[in-house]
């Protein structure tokens, strides 16, 4: 591998580690300096490797250069002398070694996760900072994920960092009394990050998968760490494994969405399904039943290909519990579809008509499905309304697919 493709790959995997360690060492108020040092390290690599070739151990080379740049900064920067040194007066001296050991890298990333997912900043900013600092995404990629411009993303991240500095957010483990609440915020951000990828209006399908897998990576770090290895974290990881197991079947070769009942089940990833089952079993050790437990249970049954009333009855009961724990319009729609499979379309229609979601294309798509075989004119009217409200080509394709063929059902 030449330095061309290697450096972007290492930037994605190592930038976040270097930034997390340096932020922990300098303090969050010096996050810009940490990012500058990490970025400059990769610039140095691009210049040096292009002339001298790739070193035998590229990662160790990067860490060594980052350590040297960090130590030079600590020794000469006037900001450090005036602002940071008094804060660190009881800690290690400026010339101490920067600790880029595997354990400290892991701890620093986990602790940075809690800092980034702090209630001082809005959730959208938490996701953006997570992508930048914890996942190593570039500004272009983040802008693409949010379907907005680079300037908007830069301003959003700048404001978020300023608020975290003003709040004097500490990069470290929350106090034991705060752990549950703070972990809940971290899990919520990871969940939203996964959803940005799982159902995205971006047309960049590769980025969508990367968002999902980055969310899974962050959650894996949590369950592998004893203080954060909580039932809800395991349940969320199980949920994501079940959903990700159907990625290859969910989109066809043309990038078009494949409806659930039309998916080729041989493309479902059985390893991910097994992993989901493993983490769901681990999640059962606690006394609390989170939304992630219930959604993971639903996702598990959706990896069972048999279309039986027993399957849909299980799913229906899980949705009933989910709506009590965490109501959402999408959950209500999905519950109504499960109701139709378990109890029949007439029962589901009565429930669907009570939902006040007339401006939601999934609502009309569901009604189109429920009226099919009962009132074809009404079904067609709802399909057309869904088509007019759909925001993406993938959704429009799914609706046309349903209009043109019986038996396919939207996956929402």
In the chain, which segments carry CATH 1.25.40? 323-412
The pLDDT, as a whole number, for residue 206 is 46
The gap between the terminal CA atoms of the chain, to the nearest Å, is 41
Give Cα separations from 131 to 127, 139, 167, 254, 343 (angstroms): 6, 9, 21, 27, 43
Contacts for 357-363 with beta carbons within 8 Å, 24 or more apart? 357/329, 357/332, 357/333, 359/389, 360/329, 360/333, 360/389, 361/385, 361/386, 361/387, 361/388, 361/389, 361/390, 361/391, 361/395, 361/399, 362/330, 362/333, 362/386, 362/410, 362/412, 363/329, 363/333
The pLDDT, as a whole number, for residue 251 is 81
Task: Work out the average pLDDT over 326-348.
Answer: 93
Beta-carbon contacts of 335 under 8 Å, excluding residues fewer than 6 positions away, are 316, 319, 320, 322, 323
Q: Tokens representing 78?
A: 């006037």
Higher per-residue pLDDT: 221 or 253: 221
Task: Work out the average pLDDT over 89-114.
Answer: 78
The pLDDT, as a whole number, for residue 277 is 97
The rounded percent of the chain whose pLDDT value lies above 90 is: 58
Nearest to 221 by CA among 205, 233, 204: 233
Task: Work out the average pLDDT over 182-197.
Answer: 91
Work out the burial of residue 382: count CB atoms within 10 Å of its CB; fewer than 13 is exposed, 13-18 middle, 19 or more buried.
buried
Give residue-wise pLDDT tens across range 62-76.
Answer: 999 999 999 988 887
Which of 3-12, 213-222, 338-347 is the least confident region?
3-12
Task: Give 55's DSSP letter.
Answer: -
The pLDDT, as a whole number, for residue 370 is 93
**Backbone torsions φ then ψ of 61, nearest 5 degrees:** -60, -45
Task: Work out the average pLDDT over 88-110.
Answer: 75
Beta-carbon contacts of 150 under 8 Å, excluding residues fewer than 6 positions away, are 139, 140, 143
CB 37 within 8 A of CB 69: yes
In sequence order, which ranges of 117-254 are alpha helices (DSSP H)? 123-129, 139-145, 150-166, 176-198, 205-223, 231-244, 247-250
Q: How confident is the model at residue 252 (pLDDT cuts 50, 70, 90)?
A: confident
Indicate the angle between helix axes 231-244 and 205-223, nearest 10 degrees: 150
CB 406 within 8 A of CB 372: yes
The pLDDT, as a whole number, for residue 235 is 98
Residue 121 has pLDDT above 60, yes or no: yes
> Which of 60-69, 131-140, 280-289, 354-363 tops mean pLDDT?
60-69
Higher per-residue pLDDT: 75 or 95: 75
Give residue-wise pLDDT tens across range 358-367.
Answer: 888 889 999 9
Residue 93 has pLDDT above 70, yes or no: no
Residue 382 has pLDDT above 70, yes or no: yes
Q: How many CA atoms lie within 13 A of 361 on its CB side?
A: 20
Which of 40-49, 114-123, 235-244, 315-324 is the least confident region?
114-123
Q: How confident is the model at residue 10 (pLDDT cuts 50, 70, 90)?
A: very high
CA 139 – CA 131 distance, rounded (Å)? 9
Which of 135-149, 335-349, 372-386 is the least confident region?
135-149
pTM greater than the 0.75 cutoff:
yes
| CATH topology for the 323-412 domain | 1.25.40
CA 126 – CA 249 distance, rounded (Å)? 31
Average model confidence (pLDDT) across the chain: 87
Residue 228 has pLDDT above 90, yes or no: yes
Q: How confident is the model at residue 202 (pLDDT cuts 50, 70, 90)?
A: low
CB 16 within 8 A of CB 136: yes
Q: How confident is the model at residue 410 (pLDDT cuts 50, 70, 90)?
A: very low
The pLDDT, as a whole number, for residue 190 is 94
Q: How confident is the model at residue 302 (pLDDT cuts 50, 70, 90)?
A: very high
The pLDDT, as a whole number, for residue 90 is 46
CA 65 – CA 43 distance, rounded (Å)? 11
Task: Indicate the helix (H) or strand (E) that contains 149.
Answer: none
CA 190 – CA 373 distance, rounded (Å)? 41
Residue 147 has pLDDT above 80, yes or no: no
Alpha-carbon torsion, ordered 82, 86, 88, 91, to 10 deg: 130
CB 209 within 8 A of CB 197: yes
Task: Indicate the helix (H) or strand (E) that contains 401.
Answer: helix 393-404
The pLDDT, as a whole number, for residue 205 is 55
The pLDDT, as a whole number, for residue 229 is 95
The pLDDT, as a whole number, for residue 144 is 79
Q: Tokens representing 252?
A: 């066809």
């Amino acid at each position: 591998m030449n330095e061309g493709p290697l450096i972007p790959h290492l930037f994605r995997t190592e930038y976040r580690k270097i930034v997390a360690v340096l932020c922990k060492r300098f303090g969050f108020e010096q996050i810009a300096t940490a990012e500058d040092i990490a970025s400059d390290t990769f610039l140095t690599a691009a210049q040096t490797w292009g002339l001298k070739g790739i070193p035998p151990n590229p990662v160790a080379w990067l860490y060594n250069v980052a350590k040297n740049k960090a130590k030079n900064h600590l020794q000469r920067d006037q900001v450090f002398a005036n602002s940071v040194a008094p804060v660190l007066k009881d800690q290690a001296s400026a010339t101490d070694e920067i600790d880029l050991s595997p354990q400290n890298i892991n701890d620093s990333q986990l602790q940075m996760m809690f800092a980034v997912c702090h209630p001082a900043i809005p959730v959208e900013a938490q996701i953006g900072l997570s992508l930048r600092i914890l996942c190593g995404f570039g500004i272009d990629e983040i802008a693409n994920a949010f379907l907005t411009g680079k300037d908007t993303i830069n301003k959003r991240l700048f404001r978020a960092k300023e608020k975290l500095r003003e709040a004097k957010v500490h990069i470290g483990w929350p106090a034991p009394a705060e752990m549950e609440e703070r972990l809940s915020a971290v899990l919520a951000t990871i969940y939203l990050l996964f959803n940005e990828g799982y159902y995205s209006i971006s047309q960049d399908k590769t980025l969508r998968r990367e968002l999902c897998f980055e969310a899974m990576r962050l959650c894996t770090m949590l369950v592998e760490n004893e203080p954060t290895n909580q039932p809800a974290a395991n349940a969320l990881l199980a949920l994501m494994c079940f959903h990700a197991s159907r990625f290859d079947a969910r989109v066809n070769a043309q990038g078009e969405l494949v409806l659930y009942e039309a998916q080729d089940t041989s493309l479902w990833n059985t390893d991910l399904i097994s992993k989901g089952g493993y983490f769901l079993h681990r999640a059962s050790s606690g006394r609390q039943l989170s939304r992630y437990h219930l959604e993971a249970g639903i996702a598990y049954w959706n990896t069972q290909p048999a279309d039986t009333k027993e399957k849909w009855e299980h799913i229906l009961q899980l949705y009933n519990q989910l709506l009590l724990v965490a109501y959402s319009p999408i959950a209500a729609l999905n519950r109504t579809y499960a109701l139709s499979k378990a109890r029949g379309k007439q029962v589901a229609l009565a429930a669907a008509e009570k939902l006040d979601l007339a401006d939601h294309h999934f609502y009309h798509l569901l009604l189109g499905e429920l009226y099919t075989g009962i009132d074809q004119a009404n079904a067609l009217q709802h399909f057309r309304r869904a088509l007019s409200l759909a925001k993406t080509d993938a959704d429009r394709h799914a609706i046309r697919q349903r209009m043109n063929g019986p038996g396919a059902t939207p996956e929402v």
